Chains A and B, each alone.
Chain A
């Protein structure tokens, strides 16, 4: 698994390098300057009324009121606009080809969203139009332990799915509790274990018992292999140097082993307070951590316990009653959990909603009295922290990736919209160009619909 991931990473790097090469050669040292902007840094610099951001080689090199654009810089005049960090969607199923659920088994930890990414998916572009620059693309919620996630950047039109991957983002995995894994609303389909919440719990516990045995098998092998190599080198001379044979690699167990080793983030789809506590108990018993509870609509009832476990919470703004386990949802959920020290994000779970994630965050101001700045963190730095990518994105700070959204006005204003979106310093969406292109399309269609 380790080896495979490295392989993937190096392949993606190579592809990126290929892509970047001609651009860099042509535009070496070219600085992009976003000037005259109101900047919501979401970082220590706070909000800057009138400032400049300098970008070079995809990174933010300077930000502040006193910063000046150097001669020869490509200038983006943002007078009257608001520049923010690119938005991050902590729960997405975007750009996944031919199925977001591998529904056939209760545990499918071996499947990888990365394998099914479609960089041509138009949804990516549409989300860029909503200022979204990164997303946690998750497996569906059909299984108690689902597939491996892909943390992506919205590099629309990239040649391969690998090119979308957020380099350095730690791997994650989808868990799901309640009605979806027990198939409550899918009675017509092929029956599959489990059919109860009890069953969901035991399926997770069983999987980790198996994973622990698997881990022990590998740990024992690696220890023996190390001992044998030491004998060979003459460091030790105890047992005869018969090199043990490696156990069979089981990709499903590999993923669970990584969870036990703290190398893979658990994102747990959950609704009810009792099942949230259940998973915390199972995690404590088996010795792993939950990175985020997703949806977590009854999180407000157990916010203390979630905070104590150290898990984040990624929730909907005000969606409720769309199924039985969503009846106790309240729009104050995000605010209450945040008030108890939980790192909270507001997510989309939808290609459509993802285009106006900023307004979803705004609802926490109305429901729960969260400050505007804290509310905006719920779609920027907070999801970045939950996905462990906050050292690169989530705020406008020197050294971070130049993933930026330029809004018409404050992102919570009812008349706002995204004018421009940059990923790695590259303009990936430009409303003026989009509008211009529309007239062209309309002309070819013979004057619109």
Chain B
């Protein structure tokens, strides 16, 4: 199967109507992503800069130029960006978009559930998570201005290799921007098989890291002097753990409980692992610790995740409500204390609503923008190619009808790898809203032809 280097292209070209092709000044060859220029817009670069009345030029999937004096290429499709705001595409560094639905919907052992397909192995260090992605489902995240995701399975203990993926294209492989950025895992328990308890989970990780290191040393010793030695068994799973144990492959670990932060740090100290901590809706409780350790922190806006049921004692509604309220204030509290973090959807169905809630509870808007663009790019090791609106970076760009994340503000256009996508207008919008001009008057089928000014 042929893998196109610029995946979205085939789809884009075919979906674009003939009328559009006619409008393009010189006949570009089919293999090239169109050149776009958005003029007179307000640009938030996510590096802190706000550029008024600026032009953004996207060409061949890259940001060609940004600024008030950016030259507009002759072959560009030009959009009037008056009244619009442009930001880098949102990066959701911990997303359920396009991932399989959870099998166990909270039912008891063996009880209920239509699940007929065999259960995926909950401990799968050698799996590539991107292979599980259903592209058409994942692409829906663009409606929220998300251009890049790190998809994570909703269930299991050790998910496999995490990848940074751009939301353009129809094949998971071609969407991958950077593969194998971390081994994704969770501190959730498995209940029906080992480890079925939190203490079992910690014991599991500890032994896996010991085994990985041991295997690594065995193989190294053998490679040094194979003659006269029994060859160690090939074990790709242990190879993965060896990379984690030596710190060459980060462990992206879901830490759902407050105490999990300390548990994760204890493992990191014991084995020198590099951590990316995900979840942490109550992280503010450990501010001092976070300031001291400065971890790579992914903070979920899924303020009301499913609760972990304990053996003793049931749920306490008042406590739960209080926890949700605290979780909503969590990003603001972290920001105020200068803790660096990225906001992630953490399987929440509405990422934008979560970000908006954090802002409502005191997270400054600029901080929110950085927390879903440049900071996750830095944490994921891709800030050299995305995360801010700068010349040379991948053309992952969002055009908003107004202030990003504001309730009345709409995602007008999304560029991923330079490919234009225009979300459909939701009919529920308040009448007379918007104010800003052209794009997306139509709704219904492909809105790609709308919004053209020139």
Contact = CB atoms under 8 A, between A and B. Distances in A.
Given A11-B266, A103-B196, A248-B214, A112 B221 contact: no
Contacts of B210: 248-249, 251
A98 B202 contact: no
Contact of B197 (A8, A99, A119, A159): A99
Contact of B203 (A159, A249, A251): A251
B259 A160 contact: yes
Contacts of A162: 262, 266
A25 interface: no
Interface residues of A, number: 43
A117 B199 CA distance: 9
Contacts of A188: 109
Contact of B262 (A7, A98, A111, A160): A160
A4 interface: yes
A110 interface: yes
B201 to A, nearest CB: 8
A440 to B, nearest CB: 17
Contacts of A104: 190, 192-196, 200
A115 B262 CA distance: 10
B311 A97 contact: no
Interface in A199-239: none
Contacts of B259: 97, 117-120, 160-161
B195 A112 contact: no
The A interface, classified by DSSP as helix, strand, loop or mixed, is loop
A102 B211 contact: no
Contact of A245 (B190, B199, B221, B312): B221
B258 interface: yes
A100 B311 contact: yes
Interface residues on chain B, size class: 35 or more
A145 to B, nearest CB: 13
B200 A111 contact: yes
B270 A102 contact: no
Given A104-B195, A116-B198, A111 B257 contact: no
The B interface, classified by DSSP as helix, strand, loop or mixed, is helix
B269 A98 contact: no
Interface string A86-115: 000000010011111111110010111111
B178 interface: no
A7 B203 CA distance: 16
B269 A99 contact: no
A101 B197 contact: yes
A21 to B, nearest CB: 14
B206 A116 contact: no
A99 B310 contact: yes
Given A99-B189, A251-B207, A116 B197 contact: yes
A103 B194 CA distance: 8
B191 to A, nearest CB: 9
A77 B123 CA distance: 59
Contacts of A189: 109
Contacts of A120: 258-259
A189 B189 CA distance: 17
A312 interface: no
Contacts of A115: 198-199, 202-203, 263
Nearest to A104: B194
A159 B287 CA distance: 11
Interface string A334-367: 0000000000000000010000000000000000
Interface string B171-199: 00000000000000000011011111111
A102 B258 contact: no
Interface of A: 4, 7-8, 11, 93, 96-105, 108, 110-120, 139, 147, 159-162, 188-190, 245, 248-252, 351
**Shortest 6 CB-CB distances between A and B: which pairs?**
A99-B197, A98-B198, A115-B202, A102-B200, A104-B194, A116-B199
7 contacts: A97-B257, A100-B197, A108-B203, A111-B195, A115-B198, A250-B207, A251-B203
Given A118-B259, A159-B262, 8 more contacts: A98-B197, A99-B196, A104-B192, A104-B200, A112-B203, A116-B202, A245-B218, A248-B211
